[in-house]
Structure 1
C-alpha cells in the first residue's frame, strides 16, 4: 500500500499535479522525453531517405549504367558473338552484350553537343540494361540502322524532336593510330529520347551496332567492348576480375565502382554520420533523464527514508526510479517512432509539395534522381528502439542506485 501510494504520488508529479518547487524537475523530465522523441523520429526519417537513395542507385542508375565492362584499349575485340556466349555461361553473369563506344558530337541546325556515342546490338542490349524503361518513342531494343536515340538534356539543348534528322560527328583515327582525321558526318533520324534524370540524359547517344561498325571501318564481328550484368552489383568488381579470365583479349576491366563508386561511398558515409550524430542527440536526451532523476531523488529523500523505515527493500526503490526513467524514454520512443514512420512514408510527397511551393528543386541536376526517395526498413526501427532503451537504462541506473543509498536515520533526523 505504501509503495502504491508512493508510485501514485510520482505519477501525479509527472503529469502536472505538482507544486512550484518541483516544477523545474518536471520540465527537465519532459525535455528529455521530447529530445528522445525528436532523435528517434529524425533517425528513422534520415535512414529511410538513405535507404531510398541506395534502392534508387541499384534499381535505377545501376540498371542502366554499365555494371561491368571489358574495353579494348587499342585493337578491337574480334568474334564477339562467341565471346558473349562464353561470358553468359560464367557464374554470377546474368547477361552480356557487345558495344562500340566513341566520343563525338551531336549537331542539329546550329547547335552542337558533346556526346558519348554507343553502338549497341538491339537484340542483346536489354539483357544488360534497363534503358528501355526510360525511353520515349522508339526503344533501344527496336533501334533501326538509320536511327539514333539521345538523352533528354541533349535533345533539349539541340532543340531536336522525335523525327528530326540529327547529325553525329564521329572522329576518325588513321590506320597507324597516330593522328586524327577529319570527323565523319552521319545523319540519322531521332527515334527516341531517354529521360531517367541521371548522367545518361546529358551524355548518351545510342546507334545500331552495325552502323557504328560501318562508320569506323570494323567488320561485323569486331567491337570495342563487352558489357555484363551481374546478379550482385555490390560484388561487381570481384566478379569482373574473375570472369574476365575467360576471354583472351587484352582489355581494361571496369565496373560501376570506378564510375559511380563515389556516389555509393557518399551514401554509406552519410549513413554513418547520421547514426553517430542522431545517437549523440538521443544520448544527450538520456542525460537529461539522469539530471531529472538525480534532482527527483534529492527532493524525495524524505519519502524514500519513510519507505525504508517501513520495510521497503532497496530493490523496490531501485526498480521504482528505473521504471520512472524508462517511462519517460518509452513515451519518447513510441511517439518518436510514430512520427518518424509517418514522415518516412510521406517524405517524398512532402518534398515534392515544398519544392513546388518554393518553385525550386535542390536535387534537380545534382543527383541521378530529382525526387526524395524513401524506403522504410523495419530493422532500422528495431535498432533505433533497442539502442534508445539501452541508453535510457544506463541513464536510470545511477540515480536509482543513489536512491537506495539514502540513510533514513540522517534524513529523518534532519
Structure 2
C-alpha cells in the first residue's frame, strides 16, 4: 500500500514537469496504439481465416478425384467406397469442364460444374448463395450462373443461354465442341472469383451431351471431417479407388491463400509487438530520468527507514501504470473497431466508390472475428514487456546513496 501511495504522489508531482510528462504520455500512447492495432489486425486476419473455412472451403472442392483419360464407371459404388474411408464425411459425383457461355453473340469463359442436385448439398454450401432458388430443384434444362457472368453477358432470370463444351473423352481429338442450351434458373451470389467463373448444371444433361451413361462421370468430390488435414485424407481415401485419377485437395487450389493469411498473422505479431517494445523502451528512458530527478526524495525516504523493496515497488508500479493505462484503453478501442470494422469498411467503400478487395480476394468485404484468447495474449505480452521495462529503473532507484546525494558529494 505504501508503494502505491508513493507512486501516486510521484505521478502527481511529475505532472508539473513538462519533459517527464511528455515522455510518460508518449509511452502510454505508444502502448495504446500498439494494442489497438494488434487487436484490430488479428481480428481481421481471424475474419479472413473464418471466411476461408466457412465460406470458400464450403464451396470449393475440399477433395476431388478427376479422371484424366477414361471416365469413372459405376459412380454409386465408388461413392459408397469413398464414404467408408476414415475422415470422409460425404462423396458425390460430378463433371468439371471448361466451357464457354454464349448469350446474344457474347461469350464468357466459365468453369462448368455438372452435379446431382439432391446430393450436392452433402459436400457444398453453394446452395446458400443461390437463394431464393433451391439448388435441389435444378432441372436438367436449367443453369445457374455466377452473378459476375450474368452481369457481363447481361443475362436475366428466364433467359436462354448456350454452353459450348469440349468432349475431352471423344475418340476424335478434333471433334467439334458440344452446344447445349439452358434456361437461366438463378444466380450464384457469393462474391469474389466464384461469381465470375462458376456455372452449375444438372449432371444428367451433360452426361447426355457427352454420350456418357447415367452411372459414368469424370470426377468424384469429397467433404472431409478436417479441412486442414484434407490432403492426407485425399491420398489415403484415393488408394481405395480402382480407377486412375488425379488427386486434388483445396491446398493445391487455395493453399497459397491460407499460407498468406498465416504469414500476415506472423508479420503483424512481430511488427506490432516491436511497436509495443519501442513504447516500453520509452518507459525505461522516462523512468531512468525520473529516478535521476528524484534522487533527493529517494534519499530522504531511505533516511526515514524506507526499505529498498518498497522503493523498488514504487518505481516498478509507476512504470507499469503507464503501460497498463495504454493497454486498457487500447483494448477498449481495438475491441470497438474490430466489432464494427466490416460496417466501417462498407461505409468507406460507399463514399470512395472503389473497393480494394474486389477481384483480389474471394470476398469483397472486410471480415472480422474477435477472439478473446487473442486479447488475453496481447494483454499478457504487453504486461510482461512492461514489467521487464520497469525493472531496471526501479532497481536503479534502490542504488541511490543518501549520504552522497544529501551530502552534496
Task: State the TM-score bracket (shorter-chain normalisation).
Answer: over 0.9
Secondary structure of 2:40's match?
A: helix
Distance 1:131 1:222 in 2: 23
Structure 2 unaligned runs (5+)? none
User: Is contact 1:174-1:181 (8 Å) kept?
Assistant: no
Distance 1:183 1:64 in 2: 28
CA-to-aligned-CA distance 1:132-179 (integer Å, 9 cap, x gap): 1001453332111111111111111111111111001111347446x2
Cα RMSD after superposing both structures = 1.6
Distance 1:342 1:128 in 2: 36
Task: Please tell me whether residue 412 in structure 1 is matched to residue 406 in structure 2.
Answer: yes
Distance 1:2 1:79 in 2: 83
Match of 2:23 in 1: 28
User: Is contact 1:28-1:289 (8 Å) kept?
Assistant: yes
Structure 1 unaligned runs (5+)? none
CA-to-aligned-CA distance 1:75-129 (integer Å, 9 cap, x gap): 0011100111121222221111000111121100110011122211111111011
CA distance 1:65–1:174, change in 2 (3 Å): closer
Of the three residues 26, 33, 42, the one matched with 1:38 is: 33
User: Is contact 1:329-1:389 (8 Å) kept?
Assistant: yes
Secondary structure of 1:363's match?
A: coil
Following TM superposition, by how much is the alpha carbon of 1:30 offset from its aligned partner in structure 2, in angstroms?
0.8
Of the three residues 162, 166, 178, the one matched with 2:161 is: 166
User: Is contact 2:6-2:314 (8 Å) kept?
Assistant: no
Distance 1:260 1:110 in 2: 33
CA distance 1:117–1:23, change in 2 (3 Å): same
Distance 2:366 2:359 in 1: 13
Match of 2:129 in 1: 134
Task: Please tell me whether residue 310 in structure 1 is matched to residue 332 in structure 2.
Answer: no
Task: Please tell me whether residue 392 in structure 1 is matched to residue 386 in structure 2.
Answer: yes
Distance 1:6 1:386 in 2: 26
Match of 2:333 in 1: 339
Of the three residues 173, 190, 196, the one matched with 1:196 is: 190
Secondary structure of 1:180's match?
A: coil
Match of 2:72 in 1: 77
Distance 2:406 2:207 in 1: 99
CA distance 1:103–1:312, change in 2 (3 Å): same
Match of 1:367 in 2: 361
Distance 1:173 1:255 in 2: 22
Task: Please tell me whether residue 226 in structure 1 is matched to residue 220 in structure 2.
Answer: yes
Task: Please tell me whether residue 146 in structure 1 is matched to residue 125 in structure 2.
Answer: no
Secondary structure of 1:154's match?
A: helix
Match of 1:236 in 2: 230
- For residues 350-361 of structure 1, the aligned pairs below 5 Å read 350-361=344-355
User: Is contact 1:94-1:228 (8 Å) kept?
Assistant: yes
Distance 1:388 1:175 in 2: 65
User: Is contact 1:148-1:189 (8 Å) kept?
Assistant: yes
Match of 2:249 in 1: 255
Secondary structure of 1:172's match?
A: coil
Distance 2:7 2:232 in 1: 61
Following TM superposition, by how much is the alpha carbon of 1:195 offset from its aligned partner in structure 2, in angstroms?
0.8
User: Is contact 1:162-1:191 (8 Å) kept?
Assistant: yes
Distance 1:121 1:2 in 2: 76
Aligned residues: 408
Match of 2:9 in 1: 9
Following TM superposition, by how much is the alpha carbon of 1:365 offset from its aligned partner in structure 2, in angstroms?
2.1
Distance 1:106 1:159 in 2: 12
Distance 1:368 1:250 in 2: 32
What's the TM-score once normalised by structure 1's chain length? 0.95
Distance 1:339 1:89 in 2: 50
Distance 1:228 1:33 in 2: 52
Distance 2:87 2:171 in 1: 39
